[in-house]
Structures are given as structure tokens and as C-alpha cells.
Amino acid sequence: MSLTETPSHALPATLRLGAVHLTVADVDRSVAWYQRALGLRVHAHEPTTAELGDGVETTVVLHEDPQAQGAGRHAGLYHYALLYPSREELARAAMRLAATGTPIQGASDHGTHEAIYLPDADGNGIELAADRARDAWPTDLGYSRGPAPLDFEALLSSVEGEQPGERIGEGLRMGHLHLHVGDVEEGLRFYSDVLGFEVQANLGSAVFVSAGGYHHHLGFNVWKGEGVGAPPPHTVGLWHWTVQLPGDAEVAEVRARVEAAGLPTEPTDGGFVVRDPWQTAVAIVATSATS
């Protein structure tokens, strides 16, 4: 098949993304940052790990490695996207960033969604996003024109007169991941041909894939350079990310394709972990195992 066709075994439209697991240098420092800057709620806090989210669903899991150094020129995390349930909740997040003096790196209107970009305390890239209604999405999902600047004035007007709350409300979910890879075509062979994501846009240096016609559950790019390799040990960044499928049967279908491709797997609760050609780990699990 060509690299831009729908794979013969597409992932189900009911796919969801689960928690992103991150390597950080100091878990206590990171928890404090996520509470202050984003208002996340602490679901669990152990000496070297922590689980954060909206009080209902965990979206970020932190793993401490005191030897971890900042990311360099290699494959791995570009950013992960926290998806807010409404535009108003994204506006409240923007108010919190302003009130706490948290620096951002940029902000865009993608047509399908509005987004604010910033690093966490270790430099892990984060996108704060809110989707527009699907019937308002551009026919090309906005990829042909590129993003417009985010209209902060219009965004903040949706919660005019409010003050940012101390903690986030319910409804926060993992929206998408964006990765650095060493080769776009090799990334397509793994993420589309083997795992079953459908290509929504191939921009040459970056590809966006999803299930069920979503604008993207995953992006991957070669912006760190063609041919970059896996991150070295003790590097801040992505521990693993999570794809949730409806049940065991769907997990077994993906596992069969992975094994047919000759790729090794590791067991995990409710499914398995497989690594892309640059050793970025993705857990494929049944949704029932995460509830």
C-alpha cells in the first residue's frame, strides 16, 4: 500500500488515549509545578512517582530519575496535548498561566482546535488544547493552510469576570502526542502499516495520524534532523504513552500485527508495550483495564 492510504486494518474509531508517562529529574518539583501552573489534581504521590489529572482520570504519570538530563538532538517527545472539555476551560487554563506568571512558548488556532504551548519544569513539551465542534472543522482539517495565531482576547472573553480556580475541573483528557522521529516513512510503516493509524496529513517533514477521522491522535516529525536515534539513558522525556482500545479482542488484533512484523513486546496490565524504531514506547491496552 502507499504511505498515505488508509491501512487495511484501521484502529477503531472508539480509540482513546490514556495517560502519558514522563521521566523527570525531581518528582516533588514536578508535582508542585503541575499543581501551580496547570491546577492538576494529585491522584497519587509516592517517593519517586506521581499520578496527576482532573480528580477522575489520570492524564500524567511522573517517574523520577535523579540522573535525568535535558533532551537533546534525538527522537522522543515533542509535546503531549492535554485536551480540555470546553473552550471556557482552556480560557481558565490561560488565566491560570497568566496569574502564576508561567511562561509559554506559543499559541495557535488550528481550525480544528485552539492551543497554547509551554514546557514543564523539566522542559517536556505540553500543548493545552480545546477542540471545536466537529461540524466546524475545515474540510482539510486545517493542514493545507497551517495554523493562525490564537486570539487570546476572544478566548478570554468567554470567561470574562472570572478568577482562575485553585484546581482544574473534571473533564480533562489526553488529546494527542507529537513525537520526534528519525525518518517519516519509517514512522509511517510502524504507526500506520503496523499499528493501524489512518493518515490525515503528510506534510513531508511531519505526518499526522488518527483513528475515526480525528484531526490527529499522533503527529511525528523529523525537525530534530533526519536520522536521529533513540535518546540516551537518563534523559528527561517520554517514558511511554498509552492507546486505549475498546476491549481485549481489539488489543489482540493489534498484537497480532505487531508480532507478524517481528517486533518484540513487553507485557503490561490489560495489554502490551511495543517500541517504535527509535525506542519510543507505546502501551496498547483495553479500556476496561484502565477503569
pLDDT in tens, 244-257: 999 999 999 999 99
State pLDDT tens for residues 199-215. Answer: 999 999 999 999 999 99
Q: For residue 193, what is its C-alpha cell?
A: 502499516
State pLDDT tens for residues 83-104. Answer: 999 999 999 999 999 999 999 9
Q: For residue 129, what is its C-alpha cell?
A: 488544547
Q: Which amino acid is at 92?
A: R
Q: How many CA atoms lie within 13 A of 48 on its CB side?
A: 7
Q: Is the pLDDT of residue 1 over 60?
A: no
Total-model pTM = 0.95
Tell me the domains of the chain and their CATH numbers. Answer: 16-289 (3.10.180.10)
Q: In this predicted structure, what is the pLDDT of residue 9?
A: 87
| CA angle, 7 then 10 then 16, to 5° | 140
Characterize 188-213 residue by residue with b for buried, 16 or more Cβ atoms within 10 angstroms of its Cβ, and e for exposed.
bbbbbbbbbbbbbbbeeebbbbbbee
Return d(Cα 194, Cα 121) in angstroms, integer: 34
* Residue in the structure block whose three cell numbers are 509545578: 33
